[in-house]
Structure 1
Amino acid sequence: MAILLSLGRFTLGRAVGVGFAKINGISLIRRTMHLQQNQAFVNGKWVGARSGETFEITNPANEQVIGTVPDMDVDDVNEAIGSAYDAFYDKGWHNSTAKERAALLKKWFHLLEINRQEIARIMTAESGKPIAESLGEISYGNSFVEWFAEEARRIYGEIVPTPQANRQMMLVKQPVGVAGLITPWNFPHAMITRKASAAIAAGCTVVIKPAEDTPLTALALTKLAEEAGFPKGVFNVITSSRKNAASIGELLCKSEKVAAISFTGSTEVGRLLYKQCSDGIKRIGLELGGNAPFIVFSSADLDKAVTGAMNSKFRNCGQTCISANRFLIQDEIHDEFIARLTEKIKALKIGDGSHDGVQIGPLINHSQVNKVTEFVEDAKQKGAHVVYGGHQLSQHGALFFEPTIITHLRDDMRLYKEEIFGPVVSVIRFKTEEEALQIANASQRGLAGYFYSNDLNQVFRVSKLLETGMIGINEGLISSAEAAFGGIKESGIGREGSKYGIDEYVYIKYLCYGSLE
């Protein structure tokens, strides 16, 4: 049996397996397929590196090898860029209709939904995050595909009133061309779907470079994109180890065939890519590191604040760019907040994310474990007080670190100033609203911020004065497909998700029709 839908020049769907699933009230045939791939995807074909080189992917929970993928270099990536370029210009993707692109994205969305359990299994195995979180990320990531499938048909232009009677002025939006997408390991599904679905909805073709720690999830998504029927060259995924990552990033930024770059990752790497894109004055979107303040004022509902702290801090073991990083707690409620939070943290179940009920998995790699350990030791040596935790958990595995609460922080400690990307709650006591804002804004990172208050006047004041691109007000989970995701200062430029996510992949063309009668 098969699901087939023909729209214009593109036929969607292929033969599928046995069983049924229902999504949004629509019965679909359930597919039974193995999604773990060991090759990259270029011009509609599964390929290895020209050199024949591969690299291993390991499970952070036990450091066992779970697969190998091609270790591609710039020659391989040049081929992928060429296929994306040809698909856009020579094979007509730039002339595809919004309806056709929307239909392809909807088909991809349905396949992603049907295969969510298999994708989650792969994601947990290579990233270490608990299976419940992997499933949550899949729901989140899939929502972008659904959202941009709908937004594809709402890329509107304008007719502008003209100052001359014999002229007509129009503004139209057109796709920029090939988009290079460089994605991180902490959200290996959602960061690809958030970028790729927006680019494809706009009419671009894509070359995706997933993080070297988590390429298997990317390739699983690619297998389903292939099944959805994307034309050859529209959707390309290349894999590489760390040794080739820098040269590939530079090629994507400097290639004249690549019109736009979207990168999610560290500010340091983002700064380098920004410089490399400057040679060609290339379109670039950057979602970079954060240093999110989490402020709890004395008027706050402490139960809600503690729940928000747990949600914001410990998702993916603290390895998210919008994790609460600096906990600013007002004097009057400081001790009670710490006591309540400690009890919650003590109850967390730690272990292999594939096991039922696990809430905290391992950190992604040894580099990250070393960083978290160094930050904690630096604070301890300079007089900070460890309320709970503070150690590696070797009984679970080499990459596990205990959920930790540290108080009595000072501004000469790394925990005070830098993003830790780990399960450490760094607490700073403050007296006044002005002091809290001064501390919160004394950072060049401005991605997300959170605060808890039941004082309406304070809510409006702090919302206006807190220097971040996104704010959770009495809320610790702020991401959704409908929201404009992005930061200010050194946390990036551009926005992802929402209706503004399309803007990263289109340009406005002004048309002036003259000599009209």
Structure 2
Amino acid sequence: MIAPLTYKDKEIVPCLVNGQPAKLDESRVIEITSSAQGKIVGYAQSADVKTARAAVEATARAFQSFSETTYEKKRELLNRAADELEARVEILAQYQIAETSCPESFARFNILEAAKHVREIAASITIAATGEIPPMEAVGPTCFVYKQPVGPVLGIVPWNGTVVLCARALAAPLAAGCTFLLKASELSPRTHYGVVEAFLAAGFPTGVINQIQVRREDSVEVTEAIIAHPSIRKIEFIGSATVGRAIGQTAGKYLKPVLMELGGKGPAIVLKDADLRKAAMLSAQGALLHHGQICMSTERIIVEKAVADEFIIHLRDAVASFNGNAGFAVTKAMAQKAQKLVQDATDHGARLLIGGNKQRGDSGAALEPTFVTGVEADNPIYDLETFGPSATVYIAEDEKDAIRIANDSSYGLTGAIHTRNILKGLRLAKQLEVGLVTLNSMTLLDQSSVPIGGVKGSGWGRSNSRYSVEEFLIVKSVVAIDPDDPVAWGSA
């Protein structure tokens, strides 16, 4: 049982170090604010460098024994963690709604998907960790290729897919036999702590999972102190490309490998043979779900000229049916940033196609769905992730032009192609410069068995199933030579 930490007579989210809350410095407290409610909904302890280093050291100590855990035991623990997540749907949903202002349906879906991801990762342990015996030049020597855990891992996770991204980030290193230091988002620390509580309730040993959160003004200093620590062997980062570049530079400075899943500028291509009504509905949903605050959101809709007018009619209908259900930005500042990006686009010649880029309601954190067209390559919105309930619509001359527009981006996370001709869709999917393509679906897809990850400015490495476990295993070759075998030593 973890002793509660209090602040202003209220329970505060602690920094968890070796199974216990770190000592509270009341000058370092994060206020957790709900953008929908417009008020403080909780508090969290903010780590300093000293606390962060203590968390690293606890993570490193636990690795010595946990790295030897059998695959049966790790699988058992992970499956229990999935059970615990499902048992905590109500409370985790409450935390997530309070901290991120997401719709209840999104919160519940997020938690149930998290359990699926953890179970899939648990099932893939033996496949990911199986070694091999490659052939050698001579007959006598034998090479054994082993896979071993890379070591203690720093995981930096975002607030938007609060539960599923946190649980997925935790499960893969643990499946590999690594210990884990979670740097929770300062916007959703209680939800992330709830995920950690579920894993600890499953029976993971003390020190295997530690958690800190850091107020924004200290984040750069504390994060570098963690990455610089010699005990941290790999970093897992899920977040924006801007922060990802900073993490990558710091990791490179200390020669630490990084698994990065960054932002996107998801293109949805609508070909002239597509079911236009369904394509419009899926494109609208992909752009507007969770207020557009998903890295795989549909940011660009590219439609063939021959059907553009008809498609736009269907798109207007789809957006109208969705309006009011787009939710809230996590903060007012995020809403203002997304709104300004669309305003800058129209200031640079883009035209409003659907919506007026206005505030929705009185919260200051909700925007009406807005779609623009006439965006040229020099327009700021052309290749900047909006992270809001908006998208740009482009008219392509033909499928070749559509692929050109889609690939004209520094991002490359996900994309979608809408066509009734599946073989054509598969051919074009190979040409899209992204890590995942859907045919006749949204750009949003994160199923537990499907590898996900970016190319270009959307990161590197892959998550989900065995692909994510492999990211936290190192390959070690052991060559055995018989000293009594003259052939092995190159002599006759």
Structure 1 equivalent of residue 359 of structure 2:
393
SS in 2 for 1:446: coil
2: distance between equivalents of 1:456 and 1:216?
44
Structure 1 equivalent of residue 381 of structure 2:
415
Structure 1 equivalent of residue 414 of structure 2:
448
Instruction: Write the deviation string for residues 355-401 of structure 1: whole angstroms up to 9, x where unpaired.
Output: xxxx3211111331122111221222233222332333353411111
Structure 2 equivalent of residue 511 of structure 1:
478
Tell which deviates more after alignment, 144-153 or 215-224.
144-153
Structure 2 equivalent of residue 17 of structure 1:
none
Tell me by how many angstroms 1:407 deviates.
2.2
Structure 2 equivalent of residue 478 of structure 1:
445
Please tell me whether residue 137 in structure 1 is matched to residue 110 in structure 2.
Answer: yes
CA RMSD in angstroms, aligned pairs only: 1.7
Instruction: Write the deviation string for residues 429-473 of structure 1: whole angstroms up to 9, x where unpaired.
Output: 111122111111111111111111123453233112111111111
SS in 2 for 1:161: coil
The letter of the residue matching 2:246 is L
Tell me by how many angstroms 1:53 deviates.
2.0
Q: How does 1:304-343 map to 2 (within 5 A)?
A: 304-343=278-317
Structure 2 equivalent of residue 438 of structure 1:
404
Instruction: Write the deviation string for residues 283-322 of structure 1: whole angstroms up to 9, x where unpaired.
Output: 2111112111111011111122123213321221111111
1: distance between equivalents of 2:37 and 2:343?
25
The counterpart of 1:365, out of the listed 294, 315, 331, is 331
Structure 2 equivalent of residue 492 of structure 1:
459
Structure 1 equivalent of residue 489 of structure 2:
none
Please tell me whether residue 247 in structure 1 is matched to residue 214 in structure 2.
Answer: no
The counterpart of 1:191, out of the listed 146, 165, 181, is 165
Tell me by how many angstroms 1:152 deviates.
2.3
2:323–2:369 Cα contact (<8 Å) kept:
no
Please tell me whether residue 113 in structure 1 is matched to residue 86 in structure 2.
Answer: yes
Task: Give the paired residue count.
Answer: 473
2: distance between equivalents of 1:47 and 1:63?
29
2:228–2:254 Cα contact (<8 Å) kept:
yes
1: distance between equivalents of 2:39 and 2:358?
19
2: distance between equivalents of 1:122 and 1:411?
41
The counterpart of 2:33, out of the listed 43, 58, 70, is 58
Tell which deviates more after alignment, 66-75 or 453-462.
453-462
Tell me by how many angstroms 1:99 deviates.
1.1
Tell me by how many angstroms 1:86 deviates.
0.6
Structure 1 equivalent of residue 190 of structure 2:
216
Q: How does 1:18-417 map to 2 (within 5 A)?
A: 38-50=13-25, 53-89=28-64, 92-154=65-127, 155-348=129-322, 350=324, 359-393=325-359, 395-417=361-383
**Gap runs ≥5 in structure 2:** 2-10, 486-492
| Identical-residue share of aligned pairs (%) | 29
Tell me by how many angstroms 1:232 deviates.
1.0
1:72–1:238 Cα contact (<8 Å) kept:
yes
CA distance 1:421–1:182, change in 2 (3 Å) = same
Give the alignment's TM-score, normalised by structure 1.
0.88
Structure 1 equivalent of residue 488 of structure 2:
none
2:342–2:381 Cα contact (<8 Å) kept:
yes
Structure 2 equivalent of residue 427 of structure 1:
393
1:102–1:153 Cα contact (<8 Å) kept:
no
**Gap runs ≥5 in structure 1:** 1-13, 15-35, 351-358
The letter of the residue matching 2:258 is I
Tell me by how many angstroms 1:414 deviates.
2.0
The letter of the residue matching 2:130 is Y
Structure 2 equivalent of residue 458 of structure 1:
424
Tell which deviates more after alignment, 331-340 or 466-475.
331-340
Tell which deviates more after alignment, 466-475 or 194-203.
466-475
